[in-house]
Structure 1
Amino acid sequence: MTKPVITAYKWVPPFAQGLVRDTRARWAFEEVGIDYEVDVIDLPYAKSEAHRRFQPFGQIPTYSDGKVEIFESGAIVLHIASLAPGLLPDDPAGRARAVQWAIAALNSIEPFVQQLAVVDVFEADRDWSKARRPKVIEDLKGRLTDLEAALGDGEWLDGDGFTAGDLMMVSVLRALRNTGVLDGFPKLAAYIARGEARPAFKKAIADHMAVFAAAA
């Protein structure tokens, strides 16, 4: 396998910096100790036919290592996790639960988080956004209540071991920063803080933010 390469954006608006999904791949690489490279692209190239042949939706990140070429941050994180120890337990049941939580982050939590971003940021100027926001908040808090109950008093979602499931869940929940939604969920707020305190996360986010500093 040649050194893996992921794609990342050269620049995004300040509100999105620190949250773009290449952070998930970067974090996974750091957790398992695999060196990687980053192909920094701009938005016009991301939407080009050349990139769409690799990523049909014109997004990032993508992953390539000479043998495997994939897109979607969840698929990339799980693939990276399969390459070296650190993010997937050795026992089959534990591995399955780690994958379960990674998928739960993407399917059961992130759509509700994204709806808040839609009404607060991406379509805040639409007439219906203000009226819809209370329902968006209600639905999101319902999912967070369920998630906090599942976490309980545990350090991580499956006990004492940090897994790819936690990496994905923390990554998704980080998008709620500065929204006030997590004020009523102290266990989830502490859970996110534990994830962000990991050395691998700190290295990944620093490298992510350095791209934007270089473009400034």
Structure 2
Amino acid sequence: MELPILFYGVPSGCSFGSIVALEWLGRPYHLCRISMPDVVTSAAYRRLNPIGETPTLMTETGAVISESMAILNHLGARGVDTGLSFAQGTADFDRLNQMLAYLNTSFFSGFSPLWYAIEHDGLPETEKQALRAYGARKLRSSHAGLQAMLGEKEWLLGDRRTLADAYFVGIARWSRYHDVLDRREYPRLQRLFERLEADAAVRFAYAIEKGETPRGAGGFQGHLSLEEALRRLPA
């Protein structure tokens, strides 16, 4: 049986969290590097993901899954024994799914107008400033909400890390690119972010994005080109 392939976007894709999750799981996998916006919108990549976004996961059987939340839940079902996820139908699974949904909607969406302002050079300055102001308001609200959900817990769901923490760090790092919010105003979130930044899998994901060849936890089996990966698609 083939190994799963994660197609991750550079620079700074939200697929970062899925790389961290794969490292935490420790099971063999390949990566495929997808440059944005050129390769991710190409006809070749759209054979995998018709909307031209990352991440995408090709499973061992050649099935294709897109959207971070779906990919993380797929990985989680294979990692219940690690504590990174929980069995579907349990209260813990519901809590994890709720946290992933908040990160995928409220937390993620605060950055969307900020990225739009950066990626569209032709926008009038007044529109860019309006987008930045709107994004800043959304981010302050989502950070306050997430800090309230975190409470005094060590990790987002309690005393051990889960896939929600992997997804969080991949999104939260974007505040470096947008000078509209100081995470230190949310000290419990800042402590969580610093703990994750020190994690070996997070450092591995940063190195992968930079194009380096880091030593992971043992699961990473190298990169495949997009052309190599596409040969695995069912006829």
In structure 1, what is the Cα distance between the partners aligned to 2:60 and 2:4?
Answer: 8
* Runs of at least 5 residues in structure 2 that lack an aligned partner in the other structure: 214-235
In structure 2, what is the Cα distance between the partners aligned to 1:45 and 1:131?
Answer: 30
The alignment partner of 2:211 has SS state of helix
Report if the CA contact (8 A) 1:99-1:164 is conserved. no
Report if the CA contact (8 A) 1:113-1:173 is conserved. no
1:22 equivalent in alignment to 2:21: no
The total of aligned residue pairs comes to: 204
Report if the CA contact (8 A) 2:112-2:135 is conserved. no
Aligned pairs for 1:111-190 (under 5 A) are 111-119=109-117, 121-123=118-120, 125-126=123-124, 127-177=126-176, 179=179, 181=181, 182-190=183-191
Report if the CA contact (8 A) 1:101-1:166 is conserved. no
In the alignment, which residue of structure 2 is the partner of 1:58?
A: 52
Report if the CA contact (8 A) 1:46-1:58 is conserved. yes
Q: Relative to structure 1, is the Cα distance of residues 41 and 89 closer, same or farther in structure 2, using a 3 angstrom cutoff?
A: closer
The alignment partner of 1:56 has SS state of coil
Report if the CA contact (8 A) 1:74-1:102 is conserved. yes
In structure 2, what is the Cα distance between the partners aligned to 1:104 and 1:58?
Answer: 23
Q: Relative to structure 1, is the Cα distance of residues 211 and 57 closer, same or farther in structure 2, using a 3 angstrom cutoff?
A: farther
Q: Residue 141 of structure 1: CA displacement?
A: 0.7
In structure 1, what is the Cα distance between the partners aligned to 2:28 and 2:60?
Answer: 15
In structure 1, what is the Cα distance between the partners aligned to 2:167 and 2:58?
Answer: 20
Larger mean Cα displacement after TM superposition, 134-143 or 23-32: 134-143
Report if the CA contact (8 A) 2:77-2:86 is conserved. no
In the alignment, which residue of structure 1 is the partner of 2:108?
A: 110
Q: Residue 180 of structure 1: CA displacement?
A: 5.4
Report if the CA contact (8 A) 1:6-1:62 is conserved. yes
Report if the CA contact (8 A) 1:106-1:172 is conserved. no
In structure 2, what is the Cα distance between the partners aligned to 1:61 and 1:94?
Answer: 25
In structure 2, what is the Cα distance between the partners aligned to 1:114 and 1:23?
Answer: 17
Residues 47-105 of structure 1 show CA distances to partners (whole Å, capped at 9, x for unaligned) of: 23332122011122221123231112222122112112331035821122112111110
Q: Relative to structure 1, is the Cα distance of residues 123 and 99 closer, same or farther in structure 2, using a 3 angstrom cutoff?
A: same
The alignment's TM-score, normalised by the length of structure 1, stands at 0.82
In structure 1, what is the Cα distance between the partners aligned to 2:20 and 2:77?
Answer: 14
Percent identity of the aligned residues? 26
In the alignment, which residue of structure 1 is the partner of 2:231?
A: none
